Amino acid sequence: MKTNYYIITGISSGIGAALGKEVLKNNGVLFGISRRNNPELIAFNSKRYNFFEFNLKEVNKIESLIHSIKESISPEKCSSIVLINNAGIVEPIGPVWENESGMLKDNLTINLVAPAMLSTCFFKSFNLWQCRKMIVNISSGAGSHPYQGWAGYCTSKSGINMFTKCVALEQNDQPYPTVVCAVSPGVVDTPMQKQVRSTDAIKFPRKSRFVELKKHNLLSKPEDVARKITQIIEGGKIQNGAIIDLREM
């Protein structure tokens, strides 16, 4: 019996937690990465759920993290391996010159450098494996549209889109290529959105749009987003390097 393996960052909350549940429901083996664990996933299936307590700011430890995950996967049993770079932060919010020192660096580290390093280590570890391989980078509409007060967030998401397109070109030249795509999930009802709605409007002038969406119950549910992302992964029809907007699906 072959197994589908998933490595998901940001497993403790929001979209990542919903993705984790979807994987376990579909009999996959899950390697979840975040600072906090997810009690719901432990309760759901502690045998197929492996948690790695990890701060993605510590990028120099990413290589050994992926190495220890690789050690737990046997190539003969592997039907597919999927890395979902989902963890992210929106702060700092506000004009860059007012940001607390170091927060811009943290944003770019967690949202861009860490996923790029995880992907790099994924390629190094699995390039020669013949099973189906995929990397899904959770991006945002903010990667293509500038928002006043979100310089770090927009820059990191724009960067992850370009990283996706570049490494997809590299993978196309490999004998067993990994398919890499970026997915913008739309506006999703998670703790990150709660944080956006609680921002000072002077720091983030577009805040009212997000308040209105919540008021009119127009946010997507994390479970629906997770189901759509899983369908993309399992459908196997994604062009390498695609930047996908879930709202168009």
Ligand X SMILES: NC(=O)c1ccc[n+]([C@@H]2O[C@H](COP(=O)([O-])OP(=O)(O)OC[C@H]3O[C@@H](n4cnc5c(N)ncnc54)[C@H](OP(=O)(O)O)[C@@H]3O)[C@@H](O)[C@H]2O)c1
Instruction: Quote the CA–CA distance of 223 and 185 in Å, as a whole number.
Output: 11
77 binds ligand X (CB under 6 A): no
Instruction: Quote the CA–CA distance of 12 and 154 in Å, as a whole number.
Output: 23
35 binds ligand X (CB under 6 A): yes
Among 119, 155, 161, 190, binds ligand X (CB under 6 A): 190
104 binds ligand X (CB under 6 A): no
DSSP per-residue string spanning 203-225? T-TTHHHHHHHHHTT-SBPHHHH
Is residue 246 within 8 A of residue 36, CB to CB? The reply is no
Residue nearest to ligand X (CB): 14
Is residue 8 within 8 A of residue 19, CB to CB? The reply is yes
Can you tell me which residue has the tokens 């190495």?
A: 67
20 binds ligand X (CB under 6 A): no
Choose between 20 and 241: whose C-beta lies nearer to ligand X: 20
Least distance between ligand X and beta carbon 56 (Å): 4
Can you tell me which residue has the tokens 């006043």?
A: 148
55 binds ligand X (CB under 6 A): yes
Least distance between ligand X and beta carbon 101 (Å): 17
Least distance between ligand X and beta carbon 238 (Å): 18
Stretch 140-159 residues interacting with ligand X (CB under 6 A): 140
Residue (of 83, 144, 91, 92) closest to 114 by Cα position: 83
Instruction: Quote the CA–CA distance of 96 and 238 in Å, as a whole number.
Output: 36
Query: Is 153 among the residues known to form the active site?
Result: yes
Token output for 197: 């709605």
DSSP structure class, residue 8: E
232 binds ligand X (CB under 6 A): no
Choose between 110 and 167: whose C-beta lies nearer to ligand X: 110
Choose between 124 and 209: whose C-beta lies nearer to ligand X: 209
* Residue at 49: amino acid letter: Y
Least distance between ligand X and beta carbon 52 (Å): 10
Please pick, among 5, 49, 153, 176, the residue that the annotation labels catalytic. 153
Q: Are strands 49-53 and 179-184 parallel, antiparallel or unpaired?
A: unpaired
Among 8, 15, 104, 131, binds ligand X (CB under 6 A): 15
Among 8, 16, 83, 93, binds ligand X (CB under 6 A): 16
What strand order describes the sheet that includes 29-34? 49-53, 29-34, 3-9, 78-85, 132-138, 179-184, 243-245
Least distance between ligand X and beta carbon 5 (Å): 19
Active site residues: 153
Using CB under 6 A as the criterion, which residues of the chain lie in contact with ligand X when the complex forms? 9-16, 34-36, 54-57, 86-89, 110, 138, 140, 185, 187-188, 190-193
